[in-house]
Amino acid sequence: MDLFKGHDDWVTSVVFSPDGEHIVSGSQDKTIRVWNALTGQSVIDPLKGHGHWVSSVAYSPSDMHIVSGSADCTIRIWDAGTGQCMLKPLFGHENAILSVAVSPNGRNIVSRSLDSTIRVWDALSGQSILVLFRGSDPIHTVAFSPDGKHIVCGTQYSIIRFWNALTSQCILSPFEDDEYPVCSVAFSPNGKHIISGHGNDTIKVWDALTGHTEVDHLRGHHGQINSVAFSSNFKHIVSGSDDKTIRVWDALTGLSVMGPLKGHDRWVTSVAFSPHGSYIASGSADCTVRVWDVQTGQYVMDLLKGHDDWVTLVAFSPNGRYITSGSYEDSQSLGCTDRAECYESSQRPWCLGYFSCIFS
């Protein structure tokens, strides 16, 4: 496992480029860095311009642009090849920006902020075109549907809201039937279902068209659900919890099909399926990353160590060969899912939704 070093403060966000060749990272040192995913070398000078820490970064689907959000309340759009800022800073939020994402068609940017709003921006002009949510309920998590037409968010006060991303119309009444925060939301690959992880150790699967729960109260964990994800074929759900374990569920019935997977010494902060669904990566507050075989529940490689603080985020590269992880420290790591190649090439609270890790 390689350590990519260069930032002078906590790394808050890491992203693989759509082609898998580069990694972008944002940091509390106010900079963004672009790295060669294979060598770990910085490929351009640090992107500077934000006046406060960078909270989130995202790639455009075309690979041409990088979007960053910051605690300075602005969003910036950068040329991924030259590092030049393409537009003036995007102003509109009145408090720190927590995360940014680019729609699958590349036309829109969505951002969430500590000002309890979600905004949608035109990616070409930088104009704020929609304010989807404005209220006093802190927003913990936001996701685009796979087709880019819808946005879902989860809040501290157990509300899930669902919008048309083009018109700002709230398509359904807010989903709410719990007293605990919504810590994680995700769309199914076909966009027809939404999964949510809650602060009271439950997971729910919702029909994205009706807002009704199709699978209610998946129970088994004994602590807050920090991260949930669908497999690419929609057959399974993976979850990570404060109880230090990972579980795999049948997405249609809600039955537990594997787990609890034990190995982490502290709470599990982030989980992800590999694109082909064969592996699960998990990051933990014990400063490590583990990779699990979906069929057997066994580790597929030695414990991935290298971080000196909590691992807050993990994600697979588009081809499934690499894993990137972000931490509260000032570096990020890259691991490999092929054991032979990995050794051959390189030896080596509340909801945690304030940090982000996305493969575009």
pLDDT of residue 125: 94
- The region of weakest confidence among 3-17, 169-183, 212-226 is 169-183
Q: CA 87 → CA 26, 67, 75, distances in Å?
A: 19, 11, 10
Provide the pLDDT confidence category of residue 293 given band limits of 50, 70 and 90.
very high
pLDDT at 344 over 70: no
C-alpha 294/C-alpha 259 separation (Å) is: 10
Which residues does 349 contact at the CB level (< 8 Å), separation at least 6?
none
pLDDT of residue 140: 66
- Length of the chain in residues, anyone? 360
Structure-token match 């669908």, residue found: 230
Provide the pLDDT confidence category of residue 1 given band limits of 50, 70 and 90.
very low
Extract the runs of DSSP E, i.e. beta strands, from 80-164: 97-102, 108-113, 117-122, 128-134, 139-144, 150-155, 160-164
To the question of pTM greater than 0.95 for the whole model, the response is no
pLDDT of residue 353: 41
Sheet holding 279-284, edge to edge: 268-273, 279-284, 289-293
pLDDT at 342 over 50: no
The β-bridge relationship of strands 356-359 and 11-16 is parallel
Neighbours of 179 (CB within 10 A): 10
Contact call for residues 252 and 207 (beta carbons, < 8 A): no
What six digits make up the tokens of 335?
A: 């691991």
141 vs 187, higher pLDDT: 187
What six digits make up the tokens of 121?
A: 């921006």
Provide the pLDDT confidence category of residue 118 given band limits of 50, 70 and 90.
confident
- The region of weakest confidence among 34-43, 120-129, 268-277, 307-316 is 307-316
DSSP 8-state code for residue 339 = H
Contact call for residues 92 and 63 (beta carbons, < 8 A): no
C-alpha 216/C-alpha 212 separation (Å) is: 9
Q: What is the mean pLDDT of residues 63-76?
A: 96
What's the CATH architecture for 2-359? 7 Propeller (2.130)
pLDDT of residue 87: 95
**CB burial string 249-271: b at 16+ within 10 A, e below:** bebeebebebbbbebbeebbbbb
Provide the pLDDT confidence category of residue 357 given band limits of 50, 70 and 90.
very low
C-alpha 170/C-alpha 285 separation (Å) is: 36
Which residues does 115 contact at the CB level (< 8 Å), separation at least 6?
93, 94, 95
